[in-house]
Amino acid sequence: MHLKKKAYFFMLDATLALFVLVIGVFLVLSLYVKVPQSAQVDFLSKDIMNFFSDTKIKDLDNRYAGIGGDLWKNGSITDPENTLLQQVGEFYANSQLDTAEKFVQNVSDIVPKQYRYEVWIDNTRIYPRDAPQDHVKSRSNTELLLTSKKLIFGLNNRTASSIWGPYKAEVFAWEK
């Protein structure tokens, strides 16, 4: 009778130990499950869009795209009140796609290197216009591609009566 009680005790102990081991293995394995960081990419696409739509040319300190910069001097940029996104839209409306691409490239050094992004206006990819192979491959292989959208429009210049737009502006972002 005394021995039977001991066996029952050890069996319960062994079962508990096994239970602990199974849970432990499960927990260790669950730490290695890769979950895409949707929040960060989402923030990034929104941040890029907000940066482009909230920053005005007059507020930009940039030798290429700011006031007094290359594009200002050659007359490509005339309105300091334009937001960066409006300026890209204006280049698109005036068929200055190369200038638009270079403009985006010059003003978007805020994007962390581990991410890639694209800027589209009216279903036309503005940046990068001729995407390198690794860029295309990265986009097609990514598990999480997020986009931010906005409608853009503007005056060709402040005194004229011609409006461009409204165009759909999109920023796509994903992790490399």
Partner 1 sequence: MNKKGIFFTFIAVVLMGLFIIIYTPPADITLQKDTQSVRARISTLNNLVNDMEYSYFVAVLRATAHKSLSSLILYMNSTGTYLQNFDSAFAEVMVNGTLDGVQIDSMTQKKIMENSTLSNWSSRIIDASRDTFNANASIKIIDVSARQTRPWSIDLILIMNIEVRSNVAMWNMSNVTVFASLPVEGFDDPHYLANTNGLYTNNIKASGLQFNKWNISHVREHVRNGTYVHWQGSQAPSFLMRFTNNMANSSCCGIESLVNPNKISSPDRIESYADYAFWNHTYSSQCPLLYNITNPSTGGGIWDEFRYFKLDIDSVIKYNITSYDLVQTC
Binds partner 1 (CB under 8 A): choice among 60, 155, 174, 176: 155
Q: Which stretch binds partner 1 (CB under 8 A): 30-38, 66-74, 89-97, 126-134?
A: 30-38
C-beta closer to partner 1: residue 43 or 64: 43
Is residue 11 a contact residue for partner 1 (CB under 8 A)? no
Paired strand residues for 163: 155
Q: Measured between alpha carbons, how far is 139 from 72 in angstroms, rounded to an integer?
A: 34
Instruction: Give the type of residue at 108.
Output: S
Is residue 33 a contact residue for partner 1 (CB under 8 A)? yes
Name the nearest CA neighbour of 155 among 170, 141, 165, 142.
Answer: 165
Q: Which stretch binds partner 1 (CB under 8 A): 93-101, 109-117, 130-138, 157-165?
A: 157-165
Category of 75 on φ-ψ map: left (φ > 0), alpha (ψ -120 to 50) or beta: left
Q: Measured between alpha carbons, how far is 25 from 157 in angstroms, rounded to an integer?
A: 66
Judge whether 88 and 169 are in contact, CB under 8 Å.
yes
Task: Give the x/- contact pattern for partner 1 in 91-130, rule: CB under 8 A.
Answer: ----------------------------------------
Task: Say which DSSP state 32 is in.
Answer: T
Is residue 25 a contact residue for partner 1 (CB under 8 A)? no
Give the interface with partner 1 as residue ranges (CB under 8 A): 9, 12, 16, 19-20, 23, 27, 30, 33, 35, 149-151, 153-155, 159-163, 165-168
